[in-house]
Structure formats: structure tokens, C-alpha cells
Chains A and B, each alone.
Chain A
Amino acid sequence: KAGVTQTPRYLIKTRGQQVTLSCSPISGHRSVSWYQQTPGQGLQFLFEYFSETQRNKGNFPGRFSGRQFSNSRSEMNVSTLELGDSALYLCASSLGQGGLNPFFGQGTRLTVV
């Protein structure tokens, strides 16, 4: 079966703009989590969505938001982009909320210039 699909794979945005990233989970998976990966901070948890509701949230400013649709696809949005938002954004899906075996996508590489 198809894995976790993230689109786009690469993105270049200008400081101050906003961006939307998409994540399609494995069929049947209802939980989607987002992580930010940077060389300096490493991998940090952003948030988790389950059944269209945010269930868990990391320590990120309100500029970072997300949502989940009825088909479990999820989007995350970053408004008023800053240079420090340049990162690899990884999405992971699992069957249930806080699932033990999340499957990761290949990520979206966001560059803010």
C-alpha cells in the first residue's frame, strides 16, 4: 500500500509570506503528526491531529497551525515566515492517536529567503 505522501517536496518562500504543506497518511491511518527538523534544534514535535482535532501540541508559536480533513489528510500552515523557519518538515501517520509505530513521509524541504 502507498506510504505517507508529502507535497511539495521542495519549497522556496520569501520572508513574511505564508506557506501550506500537505500530508496524505497511509490508507486507514487516522492520526497525523508533524515534526520540524533543523540542523540546530534537531527534530521537534509540532502537533498531532486525530479525527480532525488537534490532540497534542509542541512548543511552537501561533504562526504554526494545522488542520485535518475527514479523509485524514492534513495540512500545516506557517504564516509570516521567518528565516529560522527554514527546515525539513516531516509528517508521520499512525493508526490511532499517539500510535506506537508511526510511518514517516519523505518530508518537505522549506527554504525561506
Chain B
Amino acid sequence: AQTVTQSQPEMSVQEAETVTLSCTYDTSESDYYLFWYKQPPSRQMILVIRQEAYKQQNATENRFSVNFQKAAKSFSLKISDSQLGDAAMYFCAYRRPYGGSQGNLIFGKGTKLSVKP
């Protein structure tokens, strides 16, 4: 079974600085999807970034980028120029490639990010 591990329960960053959140996963499959979700106090899960395992290029969305190391099964999220609005819980998630009857997300336990002004 696939598992997702986030080893940092809490992280803190100064406003305008850069922070990296770690995620490792375990799977025997060669093709899959990885995600980072943000959950602010409003509780709504918001997709931050998605990475397809077959793509070697790391995904980027504005200030958010990932470092995807397939062989190491590592998927870290880098937030540049941190803003107060980035403060939230961040979840790493895995999904099998086929969707269909096995398209559910498998989440890590999350990292709580605080941003200091």
C-alpha cells in the first residue's frame, strides 16, 4: 500500500523568506501523481501544485515550486517570498495514475506553517 510521510509537524518562516516543506512517499508503482494542498483556518483544501511522476521537470506555480526526486521518493515544496497568507496546514498527497476505482488521494499528516511578520 502507498504511504505518504511528512516529517515536519510544524515549520516557521519569516515574511519574504523562503521555506521548504518535506514529503516522502512509498510506492511500487512507476507512474502516479503527487500533490501539495493548503488548508487555511477556513478548512477548505486548496490545491497548490501537482506533479506527474512521468515528467522529469519540476512543477512550478508562481511562488511555489517542487523538488521531485523520483528515485529517492521525495517531493518537497518550496515557498519563495513567503507571505502572511501562506500560513496554513500543508498536506502532501499521492494518487495512483489510473483514477477510476482507485483514484482517491492518500495524504500525509501535514505540516503547520507559520509566517512571522
Q: Chain A residues in contact with chain B, CB under 8 A?
A: 33, 35, 42-45, 48, 55-56, 58, 88, 90, 92, 96-102, 104-107, 109
Contacts and interface: CB of A to CB of B under 8 A. Distances in A.
For the side of the interface on B, what is the size category? Answer: 20 to 34
Contacts of A43: 91, 105, 107, 110
B43 to A, nearest CB: 5
Interface string B83-103: 000000001000100111111
Interface centre among B43, B47, B110 (most CB of A within 10 A): B43
B33 interface: yes
Interface of B: 33, 42-47, 50, 91, 95, 98-110
Interface centre among B42, B45, B106 (most CB of A within 10 A): B45
B104 to A, nearest CB: 4
B44 A104 contact: yes
Contacts of A98: 95, 98-104
B107 A48 contact: no
Main secondary structure of the interface of A (DSSP, over half): strand
Contacts of A42: 107-110
A21 to B, nearest CB: 14
B108 A101 contact: no
Contacts of B101: 55-56, 97-98
B105 A102 contact: yes
A90 B39 CA distance: 12
14 contacts: A35-B105, A42-B107, A42-B109, A44-B107, A56-B101, A56-B102, A98-B95, A98-B98, A98-B101, A99-B103, A100-B95, A104-B45, A107-B43, A107-B44
B44 A106 contact: yes
A107 B33 CA distance: 24
Contacts of B33: 100
A92 B47 CA distance: 12
Given A42-B107, A42-B109, A43-B91, A100 B50 contact: yes
A98 B108 CA distance: 19
A80 B16 CA distance: 49
